[in-house]
Structure 1
Amino acid sequence: MSVLVVIPARYASTRYPGKPLVPLTGANGDKRSLVERSWLAAKAVTGVDRVVVATDDDRIHDAAQAFGAEVVMTSVDCVNGTERCAEAHEVLGGGYDIVVNLQGDAPLTPHWFVEDLVAGLRDNPDAEIATPVLRCDGAALNSLLADRKAGRVGGTTAVFGADHGALYFSKEVIPYTAATYATDDETPVFHHVGVYAYRPDALASYPEWKVGPLEQLEGLEQLRFMENGRKVLCTEVEARERQFWELNNPEDVPKIEAMMAEMGLD
């Protein structure tokens, strides 16, 4: 099955304008933009036929071409990464069996997250979209709770059924737990990793659906699939001692740089 990876990158982010071009310092002191580090993460994934950056902004286009990425220009009317992936797939002429959305704010995404995700979608023919979930340890859960306490929207959490079909995604920390966890404890909370694998028919249908009340309230694009009766598969992935965090707010930059330094990531 052919696999296309699209990295949607939008300059006009509401929470963090210009985010794709924010520099991140690696363990060796080299500064690379967020979109370049996301592109490098995509290029490390095995079994991928093509990787493109999809944007509507000339600044991102020029920066991405400068570090060697293939760039697809998409409309300013795309309201989220999924719509941008759908348009990019169409602009490229379609024909891919699986389209992966590796969002441009997740440079710490390990290659096996995406590989496991694609394998999960291949092995579950009734699922039309798949997305990774990572069980939080105490440290990750405390970071999520600290963000909410400070009034920031940090990571997204997911709950799913016995068949790993998604039940809900939220920017709140769900499910509720009153327990206190130590740093290395396993918790009942799963961090949603911002990567998606779509079957092309479902992806092509997505922009035609209206934004539903849940997507509008949460600001989470994957809820549009669920609100239209499409099965979203949650593929549980393992950290393998790697730290993971997404760049959602300016406060996340030093956190991600510290993680990169600790893991020795250039």
Structure 2
Amino acid sequence: MSVLIVIPARYASTRYPGKPLVELTGCTGEKKTLIQRSWEAAQDVQGVDRVVVATDDDRIRTACEAFGAEVVMTSESCRNGTERCAEAAQALGGGYEIVVNLQGDAPLTPAWFIEDLVAGLRGNDWAELATPVLRCEGEMLASLREDRHHGRVGGTTAVFGAGNRGLYFSKEVIPYTAESYLPHDPTPVFHHVGVYAYRPNTLAEYATWPIGPLETLEGLEQLRFLENGRAVLCTEVEARGRQFWELNNPSDVPRIESMMREMSLA
């Protein structure tokens, strides 16, 4: 019943080259790279047997080894984090019950998000992978809408049906809502948290499938599973007072640093 966390990290990001090595300043004034903070977040997760960084870049490997991370080198041909996780899992020889993809741009991911995700996959035999969703409050919904208004990708939203089976993911704000919400009002919009827990066989198959039209249009790797008829479990998680945001654009750096100060994260 073993769990492997893979943190895929790519230097040549289209929107933000060199993103894994961007430094973030915590509440104590200490600077750490984005990839180090993501790796430290993974260390807090209970019930995990191994954590590795998967990259194709020697600069990232050197930086990771300097703070003690185990690194698996993968090919430059990986088109997204899921493909990189699949290659890393194969390189490690398999043997894991669940492989978790903790993307290297989400240093504020709470440990219980991943713990709930693994528990959700174990408790639902029909699901081939699981991913967390967080119900937006009015303030987060406003932030998502503001980013889209200015042409920025500020986050991904998810819709799901009976049994929390995933129906669609989008960089647009879905479902449509016309109402205005106060900052702490719960809304019908769910923010997709960029973490995945895969069953190894499904993960291994992923890289063999062609990229479909929806994945091409949205630029969202998880849509390849839906386009190939695979069952995705959307596991609803609770914020418990924690703020959450992914680093997608340079403008997200001060936003995340502000959140870190507010939450007293070093």
Alignment TM-score > 0.5, same fold = yes
Q: Give the structure 2 partner of residue 43 of structure 1.
A: 43
Alignment of 1:143 onto 2:143: yes
| SS of the residue 1:189 aligns to | strand
Number of the residue aligned with 2:54: 54
1:134-178 deviations in whole A, cap 9, x for unaligned? Answer: 000011101100000001111000000021000000000000000
Distance between the aligned counterparts of 2:239 and 2:68, measured in 1?
Answer: 29
Query: Which residue number in structure 2 is paired with residue 98 of structure 1?
Result: 98
Q: Partners of 1:152 and 1:96 in 2: how far apart?
A: 37
AA aligned opposite 1:135: R
In structure 1, what is the equivalent of residue 173 of structure 2?
173
Q: Secondary structure at the match of 2:224?
A: helix
CA distance in 2 between counterparts of 1:142 and 1:25 reads: 25
SS in structure 1 of the partner of residue 188 of structure 2: strand
Q: Which aligned segments of 4 or more residues in structure 1 are displaced greater than 4 angstroms?
A: none
Counterpart residue number, 2:66: 66
Instruction: Quote the residue 1:27 is aligned against.
Output: 27
Deviation digits for residues 1-35 of structure 1 (CA, Å, limit 9, x no counterpart): 10000000000000000000000000111000000
Q: Could you report, residue by residue, the CA deviation over 1:24-50 in whole angstroms, capped at 9, with x for unpaired residues?
A: 000111000000000000010000000
* Mapped partners of 2:27, 2:184: distance in 1: 24
Question: 2:31 is aligned with what amino acid?
Answer: K
In structure 2, C-alpha distance between the alignment counterparts of 1:182 and 1:40, rounded to whole Å: 34
CA distance in 2, matches of 1:51, 1:124: 24
Instruction: State the TM-score, normalized to the length of structure 1.
Output: 1.00
Counterpart amino acid of 2:78? C
Aligned partner of 1:16 in structure 2 is: 16
Q: Which runs of 5+ in 1 are unaligned?
A: none
How big is the shift at 1:197? Answer: 0.1
Q: Please give the secondary structure, in 2, of the residue aligned with 1:148.
A: helix
Report the equivalent of 2:189. Answer: 189
Aligned to 1:162: 162
> Equivalent residue for 2:220?
220
Structure 1 position 113, deviation (Å): 0.1
Q: Secondary structure at the match of 2:162?
A: coil
| Cα distance in 2, alignment partners of residues 47 and 124 from structure 1 | 18
Separation (CA, whole Å) in 2 of partners of 1:12 and 1:175: 32
DSSP 3-state at the match of 2:262 = helix
For residues 205 and 162 of structure 2, the distance between their equivalents in structure 1, rounded to whole angstroms, comes to 27
Q: Distance in 2 between matches of 1:52 and 1:199?
A: 17
Match of 1:75 in 2: 75
- d(CA) in 1 for partners of 2:260 and 2:154? 19
**Which residue identity does 2:43 align to in structure 1?**
K
Offset at residue 84 of structure 1 (A)? 0.2
Q: Which residue of structure 2 lines up, in the alignment, with residue 201 of structure 1? A: 201
Separation of aligned partners in 1, 2:119 and 2:48:
12
Q: Does 1:122 align with 2:122?
A: yes
**What is the number of equivalent residue pairs in this alignment?**
266
Corresponding letter in the other structure for 1:146? E
Q: CA deviation at 1:103?
A: 0.1
Alignment RMSD: 0.4
Report what 2:255 is aligned to.
Answer: 255
Aligned mates of 2:165, 2:258 — CA distance in 1: 34
Residue 3 of structure 1 pairs with residue 14 of structure 2: no
What's the offset of the Cα at 1:60? 0.2
| 1:237 equivalent in structure 2 | 237
Q: Secondary structure at the match of 1:27?
A: coil
SS state at 1:120 partner = helix
CA distance in structure 2 between the aligned counterparts of 1:255 and 1:237, rounded to whole angstroms: 22
- For residue 199 of structure 1, report the CA deviation from its aligned partner: 0.1
